[in-house]
Amino acid sequence: MNEMRPIRAKSGTNQEGTSAHNRRVMIDALRLNGQLSRADLARATALTKQTVSNIIDELENDGLVTSLAAVRRGRGQPSTPYRLVPEGAFAIGLQIDRHVTRTIAVDLVGTVLARGEANLPAGGPEKGVETILTLIDETRSELATIAPQSKDRFVGLGVAMPGPFGVEADADDPWMMAAWQSFPLLDTLSAGTGLDVRLQNDAAAAATAEKMVGAAHGLDQAICIYLGYGLGAGLILNGELYRGAHGNAGEIGMILSPPRNVTGGPSAPLEHRASIASLSKILDLDPADPDLYRRIEAAAAAPDSRVAGWIADAAFELRAVIQILETVFDPQTIILCGGMPSGLARLLTDAIRPLLPSIAERRTRTVPRLQLGFTDPWAVAIGAAAEPISRTFDPRFSAILKTRAGSS
């Protein structure tokens, strides 16, 4: 008798009018498991063998799936496994931060194929967008030399920048890029690139990266705490990124909190104490310094009481945030990630432990309550690039609900 190995996959539906969803479910299953036979796919997705065969044929014709050499399991007939074709789709991710912009090009399975980086010039978005369009063009040209078919298989441009969005702010507020938010950025980028362009905040982009190729890969309930210039959280709920009514879900950096060990002190946003910007201020470093991360990593590696004090304060704040997030959302895990040096991230993670008691404490846990994710300056750009891939190919259960409502 053949051994039935566990397969990670979401369920499809045999209801009429849901073929697009079933295609996404099959692609998702292949991404999670690497390669599967038609029988494996039918068993894992709860779809009929005929439905699976029809979709596999379509995906092969579309250049998204390919067959491998047949394999024999036990005494049964040999089965043909299928896998995704990495060159089946491409996307570009764009990160716009206060002082720098980065681009990443990825394929269907999230492999980074090209990247670029440039400092944003003074003069606001009118000048900065020229630099960005040039950088995107350079990245596309680099990608074309690696994968010539990419020019016909782009699924979009994902853009990530600090939030919150649509909130009144002073134009000179260093925590919010108000001038960029009021600029017709998406229309300008769409006209300049010819690509479908979507925007998300940097924490959501970091969560998208973790979901596609990081610590949240294969998880349906995860929260990513992103510590960069500011502080935010990306919420992966029921396998999808939750954005909120205005795209601002997870803006935990805006939570007001009194200072630690100061009775009756004034409240301030959390990110004023737990962020790269707050650490840079303590270390008297310029956040616009291209060498910022190397300088911070050097300070974290040395006995520096200023870094130790910042870690203690940030850990105190984040420990409470984690307990609240676990209580409200009941995730499988919480992932600390961000544009910070890995050495600093490890020190901070160690300082946060032990975590506060919460409903997340269970003997049956299969993943830790808190784990470390991507900790490098490119994490947001990777997530921005993953967003068009996810939007095009990942299952969207909200679409199923709309289909069912329309047919009832």
According to DSSP, the β-strands at 222-227 and 231-237 are: antiparallel
Task: Give the pLDDT confidence of 256-300 residue by residue, as tens digits.
Answer: 988 776 666 688 899 999 999 999 999 999 887 888 889 999 999
Angle, CA of 344, 132 and 250, to the nearest 5° = 45
Q: How many CB atoms lie within 10 A of CB 246?
A: 11
3-state SS assignment for residue 132: helix
* Assigned token pair, 257: 């909190």
DSSP state of 397: H
We find that the CATH architecture of domain 215-376 is 2-Layer Sandwich (3.30)
Going from N- to C-terminal start, the domains of the chain cover 1-84, 89-206+383-393, 215-376
Q: What integer pLDDT is reported at residue 2 of this predicted model?
A: 41
> Given this chain, do its domains 89-206+383-393 and 215-376 carry the same CATH topology?
yes
Q: What integer pLDDT is reported at residue 404 of this predicted model?
A: 39
Q: In Å, how far are 164, 166, 269, 315 from 245, measured between CA atoms?
A: 12, 11, 21, 30
According to DSSP, the β-strands at 370-375 and 333-338 are: parallel
Q: Report the CATH superfamily, name and number, of domain 89-206+383-393.
A: ATPase, nucleotide binding domain (3.30.420.40)
Q: What is the DSSP annotation of 365-395?
A: -SS-SEEEEEESTTHHHHHHHHHHHHHHHS-
Q: Residue 226, exposed/middle/buried by CB under 10 A (0-12, 13-18, 19+)? A: buried
Q: Which residues pair with 268 in a beta bridge?
A: 257
Q: What integer pLDDT is reported at residue 405 of this predicted model?
A: 39
On the question of a cis peptide bond just before residue 354, with omega within 30 degrees of 0, the verdict is yes
Name which of 298, 383, 368, 299 is nearest 338 in CA terms.
Answer: 383
24/177 Cα distance (integer angstroms)? 35
Q: What integer pLDDT is reported at residue 264 of this predicted model?
A: 63
Q: How many CB atoms lie within 10 A of CB 230?
A: 31
Task: Give the pLDDT confidence of 131-151 residue by residue, as tens digits.
Answer: 999 999 999 999 999 999 999
Q: What integer pLDDT is reported at residue 139 of this predicted model?
A: 97
Judge whether 167 and 158 are in contact, CB under 8 Å: no
Mean pLDDT by 10 residues, the chain (408 residues): 54 60 91 90 91 94 93 75 96 92 94 94 90 97 95 95 78 69 93 95 92 89 94 93 90 87 77 93 89 92 94 96 97 94 95 97 93 91 92 68 40
Topology adopted by domain 1-84? Arc Repressor Mutant, subunit A (1.10.10)
Name which of 371, 369, 273, 373 is nearest 327 in CA terms.
Answer: 369
Q: What integer pLDDT is reported at residue 246 of this predicted model?
A: 86
